[in-house]
Amino acid sequence: MRYVFKTTYDRDIDLHQHGWSRAKVAVLAGLMIVLPFLVGEYYLAEATNTLIWALAGMGLMIAVGHTGQVSLGHAAFLAIGAYANSALMNVGVPFLISFPLAGLITGLFGAVIAIPAVRMSGIYLAIATLAVFVIVEEMVILLEPITGGVGGIMAPSIQFFGISFDRYGALENFYWLCLAIVILVTWGYANLMRSPTGRSFLAVRDSEVSARALGINVTRTKSLAFGLSTGVTGLAGALMGHYIGFYNYELFSIFISINLLLVVTIGGLGFIQGAFLGAILITAVPQVIAILRDGLNANFGINLGSIPGLDTMIFAAILILFIIFEPAGLYGRWLKIRTWFDIFPLARRDMFRRQKSYLKTERMK
Amino acid sequence: MSLLEVNDLAVHFGGVKAVDGMSFSVEPGEVFAIIGPNGAGKSTIFNLISRIYEPTRGTIRFDGKDLTAQKSHDIARLGIARTFQNIELFDHSTVLANLLMGQHTHRSTNFVQDILFLGKVRRAEREHRHRVEEVIEFLELEAYRNKMIAGLPYGVRKVVEIGRALALGPKLILLDEPASGLSVEETQDVAFWIEDMRRDMGLTVLMVEHDMSLVNQVSDRVLAVANGRPLAMGTPQEVQADPHVQAAYLGTPEEDAA
């Protein structure tokens, strides 16, 4: 069992409560930094994809996990981020400026949409964001000079300080760029959640009426959360555009929105770590299925390739199992396992029963 | 001058007159209790003060300001904190986080500073924590500081909600049935805390309560209401002796005969 002796309030304010947790994060960051030297091109590309999905997942987590606003439209904000970044770079704005600007544009767009939209909640907000998605998709097709219409566009090559960060020309550099952005955003997100702004998000999520009674402007708080959420998603969209290289509106389909919801739900609603675990799952499962499929075909002659929609079915099954058995997601499960070891042998079977409630975003409204 | 003045307040939901012609005033430093049978409009009065409901007519003045001109999220800033009849805590946060949320009106940083966690944010966090710890000490919540609300017993949650209201640093605290569902000992604690709030913190307390022993023990004045109208006002003894009040609670002999 581990005890943390707190001698100042700063121990509670700090990101890490003890040195051990700080060391673990440092080791993980170190491993991620040296990853290009450890794995081949294929897996490095997959890792980059996972990082981009984790970034997008963090974006959606701010809205769904921490403020209780379900969005089915986040693929639209990925698209806005991607096209804004490309358009800015094509008129000669360097990546280091165009990238944050793309996030800012997407965030402002999201915040403006949120002002009327956040008056709705639950399924109504989900439908409203779906409508936003459809509108943005049509806009992307119509704004041909910027987006290339149905034909699509080529993401410009990233280059600054005389170094190339091109996805195909210099994958290691592109990976490090994505990693640096993800680390920065994670740090800012963690800071947000330990500050008054983050607490006001949680307050609005758990009880709007008492948030109001405590002096929290619910509409403004929700709009801010939605704006930050879409801003981070816009950043992920810009990176996704560069990662794919050549893309049109089909890259940002409704299935991306749904997959993003899977990332935050399976990962663990209300935990930043959940966005990462969910992103790992969502990017790894298709690969694992492909490897299994090839293996079964080569060794046993079983051809699963002929079954359409196998991936979708497996995703659906995973989601259903999580919602029934572990609404707190992968990270919630991990916390329970850790608690079991921390207080060994005092854990009781029904210790978490009272906490097994759904966040308001899902069932209890 | 009275701290809170309610004048000819009314709210009608369709044909239902939940509150109709309600007038009373609460003096600074007073413990003022509202009693009445179920459905008398007691909690509705609270919800009108919190601006959750829009009054059909009448005025509410607090500290000289017209509350009916304020937005619901501005009420806290004026110095009015409240609890809810059915506990409204932030279930997925710890006791400490819940109390810190009560400090929201004292925040001095914006979201950009928060994201960067500048030195100013850390200093403000220490301040918030310091004030919250005073509340924790007052309500003896030390053992529950880092516990999630969802796993806490009912009585503790009730106390945490009072704590969250106190963390706001209000002038007037509205307690909606602070003793409902509590044991005799817990109710006794609540009585002592209300006494201390008035004496040590200089707070004005307005409460809705059914438990007459608590009302008798702590309140200076009592207002009895029934069917949205005021019935009687005075000391707890005067109000309980009032024939109208007895009739509202127990029925009248004529009604029995009929």
Reading the block at residue B102, the tokens are: 């009560």
* Residue ranges in chain B assigned as alpha helix (H): 42-49, 75-78, 95-101, 111-116, 119-139, 154-167, 184-199, 212-218, 236-241, 243-250, 253-257
Residue B194 has pLDDT above 90, yes or no: yes
Residue B174 and residue B202 in one domain: yes
pLDDT one-digit tens code per residue, B59-116 = 999 998 899 999 999 999 999 999 998 889 998 899 999 999 999 999 988 998 999 9
Residue B96 and residue B19 in one domain: no
Q: Which of B252, B253, B219 is nearest to B238 (CA)?
A: B219
Buried b (16+ CB within 10 A) or exposed e, B122-132: bebbeebbebb
Reading the block at residue B199, the tokens are: 């004496």
Give the residue from A66, A191, A210 with the most B CB atoms within 10 Å of its CB, the best one to mutate: A210
Could you tell me if A241 and A247 are in contact, meaning their C-beta atoms sit under 8 angstroms apart? yes
Residue B151 and residue B250 in one domain: no
What predicted TM-score, i.e. pTM, was given to this entire model?
Answer: 0.89
Which residues, including other chains, have CB under 8 Å from residue A80's CB and lie 6 or more apart? A102, A105, A106, A109, A136, A230, A234, A237
Give the percent of chain A with pLDDT over 70.
94
Residue B174 and residue B160 in one domain: no
Q: Give the residue from B129, B153, B168 where a domain finishes.
A: B168
Reading the block at residue A97, the tokens are: 């400026």
Q: Give the residue from B168, B196, B229 where a domain finishes.
A: B168
Residue B69 and residue B114 in one domain: no
pLDDT one-digit tens code per residue, A199-255 = 999 999 988 899 999 999 999 999 999 999 999 999 999 999 999 988 888 889 898
The mean predicted confidence, pLDDT, of chain A is 87
Q: How much is the average pLDDT of A31-44?
A: 90
Residue B15 has pLDDT above 90, yes or no: no
Quick one: pLDDT at residue A312? 78
Query: Radius of gyration of chain A from Cα atoms?
Result: 21
Reading the block at residue B70, the tokens are: 């304020």
- Domain holding B147, by residue range, is 91-168
Residue B182 and residue B246 in one domain: yes
Could you tell me if B41 and B18 are in contact, meaning their C-beta atoms sit under 8 angstroms apart? yes
Residue B75 and residue B190 in one domain: yes
Tell me, what's the ipTM? 0.89
Q: How much is the average pLDDT of A335-363?
A: 67
Nearest chain B CA: its distance from A304 CA (Å):
43
Q: What's B1's domain CATH number? A: 3.40.50.300
Size of interface A-B (CB pairs under 8 A): 124
Report for A1-10, A248-257, A289-298, A314-323: range of highest mean pLDDT: A248-257
Fold of A39-342: ABC transporter involved in vitamin B12 uptake, BtuC (1.10.3470)
Residue B24 has pLDDT above 50, yes or no: yes
Q: If pLDDT is split at 50, 70 and 90, which confidence band does A108 have?
A: very high
Residue B70 and residue B116 in one domain: no
Residue B9 has pLDDT above 80, yes or no: yes
Could you tell me if A197 and A224 are in contact, meaning their C-beta atoms sit under 8 angstroms apart? yes
The mean predicted confidence, pLDDT, of chain B is 90
Beta bridge partners of B175: B207
Find the range with the poorest average confidence among A51-55, A325-329, B28-32. Answer: A325-329
Residue B255 has pLDDT above 60, yes or no: no
Give the percent of chain A with pLDDT over 90.
43
pLDDT one-digit tens code per residue, B112-134 = 899 999 989 999 999 999 999 99
Residue B175 and residue B133 in one domain: no
Q: Which residue in the block uniquely carries the two structure tokens 């600054």?
A: A160
Report for A227-236, A312-321, A356-365: range of highest mean pLDDT: A227-236
Residue B157 and residue B178 in one domain: no
Quick one: pLDDT at residue A178? 94
Q: If pLDDT is split at 50, 70 and 90, which confidence band does A179 have?
A: very high
Kindly list the residues from chain A whose CB atom is less than 8 angstroms away from the CB atom of residue B121: 191, 195
DSSP B86: S
- The count of structural domains within chain B is 2
pLDDT one-digit tens code per residue, B205-220 = 999 998 889 999 999 9
Quick one: pLDDT at residue A347? 76
Interface of B with A in 75-134 (CB under 8 A): 75-77, 81-82, 84, 88-93, 96-97, 100-105, 107, 109-111, 114-117, 121-122, 124-126, 128-130, 133
Interface of A with B (CB under 8 A): 9-10, 12-13, 188-189, 191-192, 194-200, 202-203, 205-207, 209-218, 224, 228, 270, 354-355, 357, 359
Reading the block at residue B190, the tokens are: 């609540």
Nearest to B116 among A191, A210, A270 (CB): A191
Q: Which of A53, A27, A81 is nearest to A262 (CA)?
A: A53
Q: If pLDDT is split at 50, 70 and 90, which confidence band does A355 have?
A: low
Quick one: pLDDT at residue B258? 44
pLDDT one-digit tens code per residue, A123-150 = 888 899 999 999 999 998 888 888 887 8
In a domain, residue B248? The reply is yes
Q: If pLDDT is split at 50, 70 and 90, which confidence band does B32 have?
A: very high
Inspect the interface and report whether the beta carbons of B73 and A218 lie closer than 8 Å.
Answer: yes
Which residues, including other chains, have CB under 8 Å from residue A68's CB and lie 6 or more apart? A121, A204, A205, A206, A359, A360, A361
In a domain, residue B106? The reply is yes
| CB atoms inside a 10 Å sphere around CB B115 | 20
**So where are chain A's domains?**
1-38, 39-342
In a domain, residue B85? The reply is no
Quick one: pLDDT at residue B26? 94
pLDDT one-digit tens code per residue, A15-24 = 887 788 889 9
Quick one: pLDDT at residue A360? 47
Nearest chain B CA: its distance from A141 CA (Å):
35
Quick one: pLDDT at residue A2? 63
Inspect the interface and report whether the beta carbons of A359 and B122 lie closer than 8 Å.
Answer: no
Residue B195 and residue B75 in one domain: yes
Q: Give the residue from B106, B134, B168 where a domain finishes.
A: B168
* CA separation for the pair A329, A276 (Å, rounded): 12
Q: How much is the average pLDDT of B188-198?
A: 93
Quick one: pLDDT at residue A364? 37
Reading the block at residue B50, the tokens are: 């919190």
Could you tell me if B37 and B226 are in contact, meaning their C-beta atoms sit under 8 angstroms apart? yes
In a domain, residue B84? The reply is no
Residue A308 has pLDDT above 80, yes or no: no
In a domain, residue B110? The reply is yes
In a domain, residue B35? The reply is yes
- Please check whether residue B214 touches A, CB under 8 A: no
Distances B161 to A203, A315, B167, B195 between C-alpha atoms, Å = 13, 41, 10, 17
| CB atoms inside a 10 Å sphere around CB B52 | 16
> Which residue in chain A is spatially nearest to B89 when comparing CA positions?
A207
Residue B174 and residue B221 in one domain: yes
Q: Which residue in the block uniquely carries the two structure tokens 């007691």?
A: B42
In a domain, residue B86? The reply is no
Residue B160 has pLDDT above 50, yes or no: yes
Quick one: pLDDT at residue A327? 80
Dihedral, B31, B36, B42, B43 alpha carbons, nearest 10: 100
